[in-house]
Amino acid sequence: MHASTTSQHALTQPRLPGEVKEVGYESMTVTKVPDWYGMIAWDALLNGMATGLFMAAAVSELAAPAVFKPVAKVAYPVALVLLLVDLTMLVFDLGDPLRFHHMLRVFKPYSPMSVGTWCLTIFSLPLTAAAGLSVLALLGFDFEWARILAVIAALPFGFGSAAYKGVLLSTNAQPGWKDARWLGGYLTNSALLMGCGELLVLSAVMGNTQATDILRTAFIVLLLLNLIPLGLLFANLQLAHARLYTPAQQWRVGLLLFATGVLIPLSLTLLSGGLVFIFVAIIFLLLASWSIRFVYIKIPHTSPLALRSG
Amino acid sequence: MASREKELSKLTQTSDPPGGQLAQVAERVTYPFRHGEPPKPQTPTGFYTDTTVCIGCKACEVACKQWNQLPSDGFEWSGNSYDNTTELSASTWRHVKFIEQFADLPSGNGVSLNTTPGESILNRWLMMSDHCKHCLAAPCNQACPTGAIIHNEFENVYIQADICNGCSCCVAACPFGVITRSDMGGHSHKCTLCYDRQRDGLEPACAKACPTQSIHFGPIDEIRENARKRVEELHRRGVPQAYLYGDAASETYSEMHSFYLLVDRPSVYGLPDEPFNPWLHMMGDYARSIVGGLAAIVALFIALFLLRP
């Protein structure tokens, strides 16, 4: 008669007498885990890739138009495609995807999801214009002033679209997530890092050596800068990780992520400015970025703990 | 509820939109944007649940299921005392919990006898009918991006089922694990505090069915006063552990319009000891997010500016 109550969703087999473990509710996790699984990890990655690529291209073009204009004109359509894939995933992650437009019936500044939805919606409009005008420019119909205007208009909303995601995933009651004070700082910073990396690949593919050389240095700076919010995030999650994983597991995963996300991309970028080196470096960076997001999303789903602090 | 909803949805309603696929699509797209007149505010109401008189009959669970036409969740032996309901969910809005506190139980198994050295160990059952706390500053309401979750005219937290799109933000936000998303329909559901009955001047079905008056319903100020008197009475009668949970705001959480009289630590009943509203962190989280992004933009801009030909 005395046994623990597990989540209804997890209870698939009748309990046997030998399985009796605990009494009452004290060791149970109070909160319910939302149905946010792997798709949200992909969404967090694609959101960063899309907004980061746009922001990196916009900042580069505004800082040194003579060097970066050609690569920026390719970057905007790529960012739009990434954003559309991301938005599709967001819609299909809803319980009722046909009601996705209900998000736009109100604006609630204290709901990170509402802020994010509005930022993404508004961002998509000038981004579409910038991407369309970039394609037209590549076809020979250049409306330079209109394109630059669209890029400037999209910048604050692109930044907002990148910044809301971490706040959404940390402003809640879920074990682990609720302690991640630096998740937003890490994700926004990481978006710029990934965007710079993507822009670097594009410039290398286009054979723009001047842009490639400058972006290589900028990428290394951002890669090292990103270690600060990542370290702070890791410190935030230390308690949650300690309860979920053994110290050996934490070291293994930590070293693997550090090697994949920092050491390998750094070494390859330092070693050569060749396309293959840069491409492999960015692939490793994206792999590590996805892994970090996946590990984070997994925390409340895998928690066997009773993190009972509301 | 969902199966009943399906049956009803097949019937022609006088309020049905005009026929034609295009008209239906247009109606579906524009409908959520039409905001009606909000009803006039009424006297705030709520629940006060006195766990000391609960006998675990589950009449409240049955009444809730019956009135709200909630489907059965099937039946499985949980092995946790008489609690085979196991948890609140989209189709279970009342959940009676059973806690067995007996001296012959092995220690360290989550049992708190709440006794001081020298005090006699109580051999007792604790029972509690759990439900939505109808928080005054409800994290679910704050999280909801569609405006589906509102405080209605009775200051109860209410989910507008026709607006919810199943984003699950409310599920993640609730520190009490009350809300879940239904597998059927994909929308979030929870206790409405029998909004429909209240509008007709009736008390909620669970309070009506409770045979021991463990569940009190009424104007929030009135039941709060009654609850405090009850605590004093229990203290006089030799139950010094009695206290109210959620009747007043704490530093980290607002008052709740459904509060409890408990005689052991909240965690023994499966409640957070110190509920925390995640929104207390939101501004700081936004600030860190902006700082993280701006630092990268500034670094990128400086690097590009310095290195440009």
- The tens digit of pLDDT for each residue in A272-288 reads 889 999 999 999 999 99
| CA separation for the pair B139, A173 (Å, rounded) | 9
Q: Does residue A302 register a pLDDT over 80?
A: no
For residue B293, the Cα-to-chain-centroid distance in whole angstroms is 36
Pick B281's closest partner by Cβ from A171, A193, A217. Answer: A171
Amino acid at B151: H
Residue B85 dihedral angles phi and psi, to the nearest 5°: -80, -35
Decide: residue A164, CB within 10 A, 0-12 exposed, 13-18 middle, 19+ buried.
buried
Q: Check residue B92 and report its DSSP letter.
A: B
The two most distant CA atoms of chain B are separated, in Å, by 86
- Interface list for B 45-74 with A (CB within 8 A): 73
Helices (H), chain B: 2-10, 21-30, 59-67, 139-143, 169-173, 195-199, 205-209, 220-236, 282-307
pLDDT at B153 over 60: yes
**Does A310 score more than 70 pLDDT?**
no
Question: Would you put residue B13 in left (φ > 0), alpha (ψ -120 to 50) or beta?
Answer: beta
User: A6 is written with which tokens?
Assistant: 């597990």
The one-letter amino acid code at B117 reads P
Q: Give the DSSP letter string of A35-96.
A: S--HHHHHHHHHHHHHHHHHHHHHHHHHH-HHHHHHHHHHHHHHHHHHHHHHHHHHHHTSSS
> Could you tell me the pLDDT band of residue A225, with boundaries at 50, 70 and 90?
very high
Q: What token pair was written down for A102?
A: 């209900």
Copy the structure tokens of residue A211: 């842009």
Q: Which of B141, B188, B304 to mutate to test the interface with A (most CBs of A within 10 A)?
A: B304
Tally of CA atoms within 13 A in the half-sphere of A147 that contains its CB: 26
pLDDT at A21 over 60: no
- Which band of pLDDT confidence, cut at 50, 70 and 90, is reported for residue B52? very high
* Residue B27 pLDDT level (bands cut at 50, 70, 90): confident
pLDDT band at A43, cuts 50/70/90? Answer: very high
**pLDDT value of position A305:** 44
- B 26-45 near A (Cβ less than 8 A): 28-29, 32-33, 35
pLDDT above 90: residue B42:
yes
Helix (H) or strand (E) segment spanning residue A217: helix A209-225
In angstroms, the separation between the Cα of residue B79 and the nearest Cα of chain A is 5
Q: Please compute the mean of the pLDDT values over residues B277-285 and round it to a whole number.
A: 96
In the predicted model, what is the mean pLDDT of chain A?
Answer: 89
Across the interface, whether the CB atoms of A96 and B309 are under 8 A apart is answered no
pLDDT band at A20 (very low <50, low <70, confident <90, very high): very low
Report the complex ipTM. 0.89
Residues A102, B163: C-beta atoms closer than 8 Å: yes
The partner residue sitting opposite B79, judged by closest CB among A1, A178, A187, is A1
Put simply, whether B305 touches A (Cβ < 8 Å) is: yes
Distance between CA atoms of residues A294 and A131, nearest Å = 30
Per-residue confidence band for B73, with pLDDT thresholds at 50, 70 and 90 = confident
| Percent residues over pLDDT 70 in chain B | 88
Band (A37; pLDDT cuts 50, 70, 90): confident
Predicted pLDDT of residue A2: 32
Residue B35: predicted pLDDT: 82
Is B143–A113 a contact, with Cβ atoms under 8 angstroms apart?
yes
> Which chain A residue is nearest to residue B76, measuring alpha carbons?
A14
Please answer yes or no on whether A310 and B253 come within 8 Å at the CB atom: yes
CATH class of residue range B38-103+117-276: alpha beta
pLDDT for A47 beyond 70: yes
The candidate with the shortest Cα–Cα distance to A48, out of A170, A223, A187, is A187
What is the least distance, in Å, from the CA of A272 to any CA of chain B?
18
- Name the residue with higher pLDDT: A197 or A310: A197
A106·B168 Cβ contact <8 A: no
3-state secondary structure of B122: coil
Q: How far is B133 from chain A (nearest CA, A)?
A: 13
Integer angstrom CA distances of residue B182 from A97, B88, B199: 14, 12, 26
The answer to whether residues B47 and B257 touch, using CB atoms and an 8 Å cutoff, is yes
For a pLDDT cut of 90, what percent of chain B falls above it?
A: 74
Is the CA virtual torsion A251, A255, A261, A266 positive or negative? positive
All domains in chain A, ordered by first residue: 35-302 (1.20.1630.10)
> Distance (Å) from the C-alpha of residue A156 to the closest C-alpha of chain B?
11
Q: Any residues with CB less than 8 A from the CB of B302 and at least 6 apart, and which? A: none
Judge whether B242 and B262 are in contact, CB under 8 Å: yes
CB-count burial class (<10 Å; 0-12, 13-18, 19+) for B19: exposed
Q: Is the pLDDT of residue A13 over 50?
A: no
Q: Which of A26, A119, A285 to mutate to test the interface with B (most CBs of B within 10 A)?
A: A26
Instruction: Report the predicted TM-score, pTM, of the whole model to 2 decimal places.
Output: 0.88
Assess whether pLDDT exceeds 80 at residue B111. Answer: no
Neighboring chain B residues of A28 at a CB cutoff of 8 Å: 270
- Residues in A closer than 8 angstroms to B298, CB to CB, are none
| B-chain residues near A55 (CB < 8 A) | 297
Q: How far is B125 from chain A (nearest CA, A)?
A: 11
Amino acid at A219: F
